[in-house]
Amino acid sequence: IVAHAHLKLLCYGPSMYDTDQEMYTWLQSIWVGNDAPQAFLLESSEEAVLLPDWLRLHLVRSARPPLLEAGLRGLPAHKLALFIQTFGMPVSSMSALLGA
């Protein structure tokens, strides 16, 4: 749940109190990118889902390109089709979805 909260906060952009965007950039570098953390379930040792569909949709709708790429990474074709059908998608996000 903490991971979901961090990623959701990234979707809103940097805080007005973070004038040099140092904290935002640090948080983005930890959760978004090729070396993003992975979580595993204790009882079965299989990988846990850190990006559920609702959070992926928020990442795709974000105005920040790294978040958009993170939301699209590993997205199966049937989920991609569902995201394309979503109303209220920004033009840049829809262009990225159609290009994926």
At 72 the pLDDT is 87
Helix (H, G, I), strand (E, B) or coil at 47: strand
Count of other CB atoms within 10 angstroms of residue 59: 23
| Whether pLDDT at 88 is above 80 | no
Residues of the domain holding 90: 2-99
At 40 the pLDDT is 85
* pLDDT tens digits, 21-71: 888 888 888 888 777 878 888 888 888 888 888 998 998 888 888 888 888
Read off the pTM: 0.77
Across the range 75-95, mean pLDDT stands at 83
Angle at CA of residue 67, ends 17 and 91, nearest 5°: 105
At 49 the pLDDT is 81
Number of domains in the chain: 1
At 91 the pLDDT is 78
Q: CA-CA distance, 6 to 30, in Å (whole number)?
A: 10
